[in-house]
Amino acid sequence: MSINTLAHVFTPHGNIVYTANDFRQTVRIAVAGTIALSISTFYDVQYGVFFVVYPLMLMSLVPMFNLHVARQFIFSAAVNCVEMVLIVGYLSQWPVIMTLVVFALYVMRFRFMSQGPLFLLGSMGVVCQSTMLNFMSYPTSNWHTLMFSNMEACVMAVALSALLHYLIPDVEPRKPPPRIEKDAARIRHESLLSGTVATIIFVVFQICDLSDSLSALMAGILILFPMHYRGAVISSIWRVVGVVLACLYILVVQLIIYDFSNHMILMMPLIGLGWPSAPAST
């Protein structure tokens, strides 16, 4: 299975076409990422990861913008803030109960993703829940700053998505993706499998001191989005490839600008050129 999966990943697929709409989406992602990183860097926000990841995530997962998308994204962030305060604030002294509640929330959100219509609500919830639980587990974290940063980044992501879809619209109307029919057993299997792995990741990050390993946490969560073994393997391989390419690119950028890396006007355009690979390397 592993050999076949690797062969599938690195074999060219003739049926994949990079359309004009895909190019527009790539440009929107690059511009949004550059603006978000510039804002978080300029204001030196404490939780800049929210400001950078949320716009990339929103415009990578959903190639369009409407009120339904905005409502799901903002509602998920708001609900997560309330949930995390209750879970960490009241259940942290009972680790087993806290872990069971976290598992239940993961299963519920992956179920939303598996069913389809509320995919963005579930995926945003999974990422937000994982990140906030990790931050809030450290006594040095300021919960108020964390909550406000989360909501501000969410609103900024929605605003950037709306603005860039207006300024850089698709060339032609997008057709809705074909709906995947899933029976109850498959939905239950995907929800439990993904929820279990996400909970294991949560437990590992609670037991070990991994405060500087946020990228590992994000990678571990994002590769679960396909919600099945083959998809997770393919996603993880492409993520490794993306990380390697991104690291090499940043090294080249550092060599080019050298002592002027603290000048945003020089740094941001070069970083912006590398944003199109961000969905694979986040």
pLDDT digits (tens, 9 = 90+) for 37-71: 999 988 888 888 899 999 999 999 999 999 999 99
Quote the pLDDT of residue 10: 52
Mean pLDDT, range 227-242, rounded to an integer: 86
Report pLDDT for 275. Answer: 65
**What would the two tokens of residue 136 be?**
């809030």
Q: How many CA atoms lie within 13 A of 28 on its CB side?
A: 31
Q: Kindly state whether residue 6 falls inside one of the protein's structural domains.
A: no
Determine the residue type at 243.
V
- pTM of the full structure: 0.86
Alpha carbon of residue 216 to chain centroid:
12
195 occurs within a structural domain:
yes
Residue 3 has pLDDT above 60, yes or no: no
Split into its structural domains, the chain has a count of 1
CA-only gyration radius of the chain, Å: 19
Query: Is there a domain that residue 235 lies in?
Result: no
Spatial distance between the Cα atoms of 267 and 258, rounded to a whole number of angstroms: 10
Is residue 251 in some structural domain?
Answer: no
pLDDT of residue 258: 79
Distance CA 112, CA 65 (A): 19
pLDDT attached to residue 77: 93
SS3 12: coil
Q: Return all residues near 179 (Cβ < 8 A) that are at least 6 apart.
A: 116
Q: Is residue 237 one of the residues assigned to a domain? A: no
Is residue 40 in some structural domain? yes
Other beta carbons less than 10 A from residue 2's beta carbon: 8
Residue 274 is encoded by which pair of tokens?
Answer: 């590398």
Which pLDDT belongs to residue 208? Answer: 86
pLDDT at residue 12 in the model: 53
Question: Is-contact 29 62, C-beta < 8 A?
Answer: no
Return mean pLDDT, the chain.
86
Establish if 159 belongs to a structural domain: yes
Handedness of CA 271, 273, 277, 279 (dihedral sign): positive
* Residue 15 belongs to some domain of the structure: no
pLDDT digits (tens, 9 = 90+) for 254-280: 888 877 777 778 888 888 887 655 544
Domain that holds residue 79: 27-172+183-228
Q: To the nearest whole percent, how much of the chain has pLDDT over 90? A: 50
Task: Categorize the per-residue pLDDT at 179 as very low, low, confident or very high, splitting at 50, 70 and 90.
Answer: confident
Distance CA 222, CA 217 (A): 9
Other beta carbons less than 10 A from residue 155's beta carbon: 15
Over range 21-38, report the average pLDDT.
92
